[in-house]
């Protein structure tokens, strides 16, 4: 059932327009409920497709499940066809942005991690396959004929994290990529290199934190970065072909590519969120569940791949200082700086969120050393949430996925805290979905979160 808000609002009184908006809310709630009743696993999605199509270009940590995001967006846009724009201020691997594209929306995404920006730019670009194939053949030829014995990059720890033979091969790929004149295709090559680096370095791939493999394993490991790169590039081209087919079948592509707007910004969302004219109709996002150093080290996971990529090709404003240490990106991320806000700000946070106050009171008794990090993180999160509330237009919808982690054995009720912080800003909770986390690595983000096996999808509407 589709309702057109535009026609609803035409000439209607304020009271009836509020009622109509509530009717739309109810239709969305019913739709979500009926999807859940028809298929109890729909939000868990065992048919999970993180490892399919463009979503496997690079294994970004804590990726959401594409089909789940697509279904959520569809559930809202089919009921409220005034929704034409989507924002994700914590874009990561662009799962919600690509899901927004599949629903024909104009997409606005931002993130603080340069690797997220590169990945998102590649995943949202509509590539000319013939051109990509031609340039790929040229690149592979260039790599295979390159006999130089010179290592293109130099950073602290290069010899620890890469065998010399691997560094020499990665250097040939870097030199070959630089010869390609098309920036979009170069970005596709860089992201293919990023995954090659992830798989050919001496880092164990089993965790998101950097952990060196045992010496014996490194010595016995025979890996060719060039062969790996070629294999991944061919796979990526196949994935782009099927992605293009999907966009074409939905008639979302014109002669200049995707018909709607795509904006991918390298931004710290605590400082700035881009607001298009008329505001955002729908926000779909998943924030970090705590500071990166104690939850998921998104920056650390990106550190080695980014060392091999020419950063200016990702975005002109990215500077080398983000790679000065393995934790530089994580320090700039939500909760990364351990500077306690003023008592006035903390008191205000506690007043807005009794759930935050309660859990901090409990932790003060058992683990007083752990309270500052949670307060700093929540304060940063609240700064972003307030900016999001400004960015979303009146009667726009917000879909947040969030999990409750444990700190010192105590559950941090991120879901309740998020609801309280948003409600204070005129954002009304419509419905909640609980989903199981199937991905083991995600569930066991680290020791303190071993019990995090579910997360919540919270759907809200901005009421004023």
Ligand X SMILES: C[S@@+](CC[C@H](N)C(=O)[O-])C[C@H]1O[C@@H](n2cnc3c(N)ncnc32)[C@H](O)[C@@H]1O
Give the footprint of ligand X on this chain (CB under 6 A).
60, 62-64, 90, 92-93, 95, 110-113, 116, 268-270, 286-288, 298, 333-334
278 CB-contact burial (10 Å; exposed 0-12 / middle 13-18 / buried 19+): exposed
Within 10 A of 75 (CB to CB), how many other CB atoms are there?
21
Q: What residues are paired with 381 via a beta bridge?
A: none
Within 10 A of 102 (CB to CB), how many other CB atoms are there?
18
Nearer Cβ to ligand X, position 232 or 302? 302
Q: What's the closest the beta carbon of residue 49 comes to ligand X, in angstroms? A: 12
Here the tokens at position 187 are 């970005």
Q: What's the closest the beta carbon of residue 116 comes to ligand X, in angstroms? A: 5
Q: What's the closest the beta carbon of residue 454 comes to ligand X, in angstroms? A: 15
Q: What's the closest the beta carbon of residue 7 comes to ligand X, in angstroms? A: 34
Nearer Cβ to ligand X, position 210 or 334? 334
Separation between Cα atoms, residue 253 and residue 275, nearest integer Å: 24
Q: What's the closest the beta carbon of residue 9 comes to ligand X, in angstroms? A: 32
Nearer Cβ to ligand X, position 25 or 455? 455
Show Cβ contacts of residue 211 under 8 Å, excluding neighbours closer than 6 positions: 203, 204
Nearer Cβ to ligand X, position 234 or 327? 327
Nearer Cβ to ligand X, position 166 or 322? 322
Here the tokens at position 148 are 């130089």
Q: What's the closest the beta carbon of residue 439 comes to ligand X, in angstroms? A: 11
Q: What's the closest the beta carbon of residue 207 comes to ligand X, in angstroms? A: 16
Here the tokens at position 182 are 């098309």
Nearer Cβ to ligand X, position 95 or 395? 95
Nearer Cβ to ligand X, position 388 or 430? 388
DSSP 241-292: HHHHHHHHHTT-EETTEESS-EEEEE--TTT-----TT-EEEEEE---SS-T
Which residue is nearest to ligand X, using beta carbons? 92
Nearer Cβ to ligand X, position 68 or 180? 68
Q: What's the closest the beta carbon of residue 110 comes to ligand X, in angstroms? A: 6
Helix boundaries (H) for 327-444:
328-332, 343-352, 354-366, 371-391, 414-423, 440-443
Using an 8 Å Cβ cutoff, are 91 and 264 in contact?
A: yes
Here the tokens at position 272 are 């700035």
């Amino acid at each position: 059932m589709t309702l057109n808000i535009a026609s609803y609002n035409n000439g209607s009184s304020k009271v009836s327009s509020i009622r109509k908006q509530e009717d739309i809310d109810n239709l969305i709630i019913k739709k979500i409920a009926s999807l859940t009743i028809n298929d109890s696993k729909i939000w868990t999605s065992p048919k999970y497709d993180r490892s399919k199509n463009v979503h496997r270009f690079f294994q970004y940590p804590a990726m959401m499940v594409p089909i789940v995001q697509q279904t959520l967006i569809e559930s809202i846009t089919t009921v409220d066809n005034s929704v034409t724009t989507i924002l994700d201020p914590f874009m990561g691997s662009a799962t919600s942005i690509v899901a927004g594209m599949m629903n024909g929306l104009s997409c606005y995404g931002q993130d603080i991690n340069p690797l997220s920006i590169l990945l998102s730019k590649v995943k949202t670009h509509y590539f000319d396959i013939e051109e990509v194939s031609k340039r790929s053949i040229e690149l592979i030829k260039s790599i295979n004929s390159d006999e130089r014995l010179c290592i293109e990059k130099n950073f602290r720890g290069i010899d620890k994290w890469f065998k010399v033979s691997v560094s020499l091969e990665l250097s040939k790929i870097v030199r070959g990529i630089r010869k390609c004149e098309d920036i979009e295709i170069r970005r596709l090559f860089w992201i293919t290199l990023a995954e090659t680096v992830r798989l050919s370095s001496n880092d164990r791939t089993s965790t998101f934190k950097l952990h060196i493999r045992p010496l014996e394993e490194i010595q016995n490991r025979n890996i060719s970065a060039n062969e790996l790169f070629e294999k991944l590039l061919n796979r990526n081209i196949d994935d782009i072909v099927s992605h293009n087919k999907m966009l074409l079948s939905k008639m979302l592509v014109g002669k200049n590519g995707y018909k709607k707007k795509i904006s991918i910004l390298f931004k710290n969302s605590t400082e700035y969120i881009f607001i298009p004219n008329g505001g955002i109709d729908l926000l779909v996002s998943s924030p970090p569940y705590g500071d990166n150093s104690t939850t998921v080290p998104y920056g650390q996971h990106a550190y080695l791949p980014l060392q091999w990529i020419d950063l200016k090709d990702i975005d002109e404003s990215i500077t080398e200082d983000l790679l000065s240490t393995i934790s530089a990106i994580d320090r700039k991320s939500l909760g990364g700086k351990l500077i306690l806000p003023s008592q006035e700000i903390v008191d205000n946070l506690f007043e807005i969120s009794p759930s935050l106050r309660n859990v901090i009171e409990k932790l003060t008794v058992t683990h007083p050393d752990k309270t500052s990090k949670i307060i700093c993180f929540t304060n940063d999160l609240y700064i972003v949430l307030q900016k999001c509330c400004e960015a979303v237009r009146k009667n726009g919808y917000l879909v947040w996925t969030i999990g409750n982690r444990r700190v010192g054995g105590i559950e941090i009720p991120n879901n309740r805290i998020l609801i309280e912080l948003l409600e204070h800003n005129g954002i009304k909770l419509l419905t909640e979905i609980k989903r199981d986390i199937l991905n083991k690595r995600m569930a066991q983000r680290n020791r303190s979160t071993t019990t995090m096996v579910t997360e919540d999808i919270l759907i809200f509407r901005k009421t004023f």
